[in-house]
Structure 1
Amino acid sequence: MASPRPDPAAAAPGSLAKRTVRDFTFGRILGEGSYSTVMLGTDQTTGQQYAVKILDKRHIIKEKKTKYVNIERNTLNRLNHPLVVRLHFAFQDPTSLYFVLDYAEHGELLTLIRRCGQLPEVNARFYLAEIVTAVEYLHSRGVVHRDLKPENILLDRDMHIKLTDFGTAKLTDSADAGPPRANSFVGTAEYVSPELLTDKAVDRRSDLWALGCILYQLLSGRLPFKGANDYQTFQQIIRHEYTIPDDFSPAARDLVTQLLAANPADRIGAAGPDLAAVKAHPFFSGLDWRDLHLQVPPPLPAPSPPVGPWNGTASDDDEDLIDDSDLFQRLQALPVYEGGGALPADLGSYTLPRPSSSDPPTVSAASPPLRSPPRLVTTPPQPYTMPSYYDPHPSQSSLSYSSTQSPPDPHFHNLHHTELALHEGGKLSQSAQPWTWRGRLALRLSSLCPCICGSRP
């Protein structure tokens, strides 16, 4: 039985005493994104557990993500539904923003699909019905999710869904939606609708397409559109190339077909302001739509044994904003299937701190960006330790060591003292640093024939 929900008016953001970081005890990491970390937080006063999303201000400013953070908070502020994750508190400190959200103990719906392989139709019907109910509520509040996928659908303690991740949502009745961006889209490749790829247009009907992809994935354990890379996936979507497994029931086959209609106007539920047409489909025959969040979900089957590496997910990275004009030009050349609450004001003035001489080495441009560690830890952080093969006396102009690079070959350690002698003598050029192949070659040559590098024997 689902636990009773508190009075919304009493728990609305801003109606309770202001919370700070000191009011919470933080435990394990629940998830990590491109500019955020979600940690399990416990209110020290009530003992209530929450999912605390910690957003790094420095990364938000640097990567120009302020707009999406604003959209996420403004969207959460206008939503209050038992099947949608809820924002309880929001606060900040000098380095981070904190969103205190509902804690879903059973993780992502994708994990359930992976564990079961595919769900029986009775389970898929119940979970799709909850997703449809949540999406219908979003649309009634002027919100288009734009990134519906099993990774963004959580399961709470009673195995009911919680729709989450509104950073790329579109507020259709608000200026936060902003003007459409040329040569860009938001979403995850395997779930984007064809009109988004060809016309760069998005509305509530794009969420209906994603519902079709999710139903297909619930029943089969795999995605309807999945190529070797994003471009091939987009080709499949634009050409409407997918097959429905033979074990789908006639009702399931029909609903998937109507949701995955290439023409947005032909999708079931696209005509009316709500999703009554979807709810009336024979696939949901016999389902009681009243208070789904209070019903007991159908028992789940035993987990399926692993049969090989998982290849049905979209991506492990949640960086869903794609800007690629060349990609869109190639896609538009393909034949199209013609079938039936703002952030605090002081965030804008937040400036990035200037590096000091005691900072760790700067990551080179060729290296992947390092994700900022969580700002809150339960134990003091370990001091930064230089690797044994790191030169402690480089000049500032030649500093190019990256902690993401692999250590040099075993021979390099034996030449460490030779490296220091060469560097102090000024004979090792900036283009032949000791952690590059040129540097290692110069060091070996210097040990065999010192006159080559000009060092004294």
Structure 2
Amino acid sequence: MATNASASQQVPKRTIKDFKFVNELNNGSYSTVYLGIEIATDRKLAIKAVKKSLIKRLNKVQEVFREKAILTQLDDCVYTISLYCTFQTEENLYFGLTYCSNGDLLQHITDANHFDLETVRFYSAELVEALEQLHIRHVIHRDLKPENILLTDNMHIQLADFGSAVLIETNEAAQTGEEKEKEKKSTERRNSFVGTPQFVAPEILQNGLIHIGSDFWSLGCVIYQMVTGEHLFRGHHEYDIMNAVVRVAYKLPDDFPELVEDLIRKLVRLGPHERLGSDETGGVEKLKVHGFFADTKWGELLNQQSPLAVKSKLDSQPKNSDDDTNTEYTED
């Protein structure tokens, strides 16, 4: 299976024999993520194994390689996981990714029931800076949710799972007719529904336009969950949730913090161009000066101690015996 040439030149090549596979971390619809240790360096990695036959059957081949290209595009972003290496076998493609020892944000929200406002402000600000880094590089995540926000050893965020992301083309004027047609078909595929209904923007559900405002909608939904421990959009069935999303039908509690309420109402709006942070509303700089972020020291967040770092750390690393750690991985 061929890879993107320009991206592959920047990513080190390894083989499956270069790693010990410790344990499974999580799995998705067509991939499984393992904790792996590179034998030569003792480096811990999250190794994503993608079954070739399955992505062909599900028509996900372009999605997988788009994710690889986007991760390469983001290799200098401090708020996203990095692609360390790639390798493959006859059965699987493998991506060696940043291993975040403290799990994902959802685990910590669930553990705490909800965050205090200091913690909400800190992680909301880091998310704003993370989205700014993505959008400057013409990347839209489109599946921002607590499960895709990982936490490092120092409890700072790393965005993960770029399988639904898109890379906005900036050289349209230079494209040939054939290239434009390919891009049009690619855009049509990308406009299909992705993500989790509770966090995905209505224009994505309705196969609408691609816009950075989709990420700011999701940001508002994540902020609400950090404050309350619950989803902003709810329903007995997925259809009910999606219907609520496209109607922007939500209700905030009567005692909801005033500044956070104002922020969410400015982020969770029907039109992506209406959302705070979009270019049409003044860009990310306008979002940064919202009253909720009044005391935020932008550009210095990574040098600050996370509010969660002083609390008990959630150790997501699997506990294994020496025999488990030295067990070689074999494919199914």
Which bin holds the TM-score, normalised by the shorter protein?
Answer: 0.7 to 0.9
User: What is the aligned counterpart of 1:225 among 225, 233, 237?
Assistant: 233
Give 1:289's aligned residue.
Answer: 298
Indicate yes or no: 2:190 matched with 1:190. no
**Residues 166 and 190, structure 2, Cα contact 8 Å, conserved in 1:** no
Letter in 2 for 1:187: G
**Residues 83 and 293, structure 1, Cα contact 8 Å, conserved in 2:** no
Question: Which structure 2 residues correspond to residues 34-433 of structure 1 after superposition, within 5 A?
Answer: 34-79=29-74, 80-173=76-169, 178-181=186-189, 184-198=192-206, 200-270=208-278, 271=280, 274-299=283-308, 378=327
Q: Distance in 2 between matches of 1:18 and 1:379?
A: 19
- Bigger relative contact order, structure 1 or 2, given CA contacts below 8 A and separation 6+? 2
Q: CA deviation at 1:300?
A: 6.5
Give 2:19's aligned residue.
Answer: 24
Distance 1:39 1:81, change over 3 A: same
Q: Which runs of 5+ in 2 are unaligned?
A: 1-6, 171-181, 313-325
Q: CA deviation at 1:248?
A: 2.6
2:121 match: secondary structure: helix
Q: Which has the larger radius of gyration?
A: 1
**Residues 13 and 89, structure 1, Cα contact 8 Å, conserved in 2:** no
Q: Residue deviations 1:45-79, cap 9 Å, x none?
A: 11111111111111111211101101110000100
Q: Distance in 1 between matches of 2:288 and 2:305?
A: 19
Q: Residue deviations 1:394-444, cap 9 Å, x none?
A: xxxxxxxxxxxxxxxxxxxxxxxxxxxxxxxxxxxxxxxxxxxxxxxxxxx
2:32 match: secondary structure: strand
Letter in 1 for 2:327: T
Q: Distance in 1 between matches of 2:144 and 2:263?
A: 17
Distance 1:183 1:264, change over 3 A: closer
**Residues 21 and 36, structure 2, Cα contact 8 Å, conserved in 1:** yes
Structure 1-normalised TM-score? 0.61
Q: Distance in 1 between matches of 2:145 and 2:68?
A: 20
Q: Distance in 2 between matches of 1:267 and 1:281?
A: 13
Q: Distance in 2 between matches of 1:183 and 1:272?
A: 23
Q: Distance in 2 between matches of 1:182 and 1:152?
A: 19
Distance 1:21 1:227, change over 3 A: same
Distance 1:129 1:225, change over 3 A: same
Higher relative helix content:
2
Letter in 2 for 1:40: L
Give 2:176's aligned residue.
Answer: none
Alpha-carbon RMSD across the aligned residues, in angstroms, is: 2.6
